């Protein structure tokens, strides 16, 4: 059986749809979590998002690497969203392996950040997958991370539940939802948007994911 590193597979979305029998769902209600019933941010959260944006852009124009994106943007957003405290826990550089048996093929990789929700009866719910590309390579659009994210999401053992991902290179963000053999995208959010700070929306969506209603809906 052949083994391929996910970061070197050079797959596009059509390849992944074919290999994993996935299909995109265009119904806005399939992935309503990113745009319906979002709670407003408070003054402190707004100020913190503004500070994250200023810090990122200050360092971005001096050249920035993946670990700096995690430090400047991902970690603060996860903190604000409540993903760093119970019932959530975070794993970084988590090994991922998924086999395609009918093709004698195994994809291996390491997910940048994996947010896990502790469930009852000692069950862990692999909940939010975060894939980061280095923004020091500006020719790479953040959407280049989407195929990687989809492969990582296919490795989730929680196939009966919805799984979410963020694909980003620091400059832009997009959310992905996968449930069963269907997936969907949110709109994309840019760190360069003016005059609004689109990190407000990114944080609102993350906070929506951490509310009790999302796992409960997924289990239905």
Q: Going by CATH, does the domain composed of 2-219 fall within 1.10.3470?
A: no
Better-predicted residue by pLDDT, 177 or 127: 177
Please give the pLDDT value at position 209.
Answer: 86
SS3 196: coil
Q: What single DSSP character describes residue 141? A: -
Please give the pLDDT value at position 75.
Answer: 93
Could you give the CA distance from residue 189 to residue 173 in angstroms, rounded to a whole number? 5
pTM recorded for the entire structure? 0.87
Band of pLDDT at residue 195, cut at 50, 70 and 90: very high
Query: What mean pLDDT is predicted for residues 174-186?
Result: 94
Q: What are phi and psi of 121, to 5 degrees?
A: 60, 35
140 pLDDT above the threshold of 60: no
Please give the pLDDT value at position 163.
Answer: 86
Please give the pLDDT value at position 3.
Answer: 87
Please give the pLDDT value at position 124.
Answer: 60
Domain boundaries, the chain: 2-219
Query: What are the start-end ranges of the H helices in the chain?
Result: 13-20, 43-60, 66-69, 75-81, 146-154, 199-209, 213-219
Q: What digits encode the pLDDT tens for the residues 66-120?
A: 788 889 999 999 999 998 888 888 888 888 888 887 777 888 888 888 888 776 5
Please give the pLDDT value at position 219.
Answer: 22
How many CA atoms are closer than 13 Å to the CA of 197, on its beta-carbon side? 17
């Amino acid at each position: 059986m052949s083994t391929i590193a996910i970061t070197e597979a050079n797959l596009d979305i059509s390849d992944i749809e074919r290999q994993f029998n996935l299909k995109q769902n265009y119904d806005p209600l399939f992935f309503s979590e990113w745009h319906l019933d979002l709670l407003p941010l408070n003054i402190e959260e707004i100020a913190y998002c503004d500070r994250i944006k200023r810090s990122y852009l200050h360092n971005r124009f001096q050249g920035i690497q993946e670990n700096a994106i995690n430090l400047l943007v991902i970690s603060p957003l996860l903190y604000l969203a409540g993903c760093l405290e119970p019932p959530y826990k975070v794993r970084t550089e988590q090994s991922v392996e998924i086999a395609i048996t009918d093709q004698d093929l195994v994809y291996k990789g390491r997910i940048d950040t994996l947010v896990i929700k502790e469930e009852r009866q000692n069950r862990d719910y692999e909940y939010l997958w975060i894939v980061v590309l280095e923004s020091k390579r500006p020719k790479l659009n953040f959407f280049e991370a989407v195929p990687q994210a989809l492969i990582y999401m296919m490795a989730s053992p929680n196939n009966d539940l919805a799984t979410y991902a963020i694909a980003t290179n620091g400059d832009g963000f997009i959310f992905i939802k996968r449930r069963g053999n269907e997936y969907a995208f949110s709109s994309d959010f840019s760190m360069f948007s003016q005059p609004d700070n689109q990190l407000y929306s990114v944080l609102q969506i993350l906070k929506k994911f951490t509310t009790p209603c999302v796992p409960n809906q997924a289990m239905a």
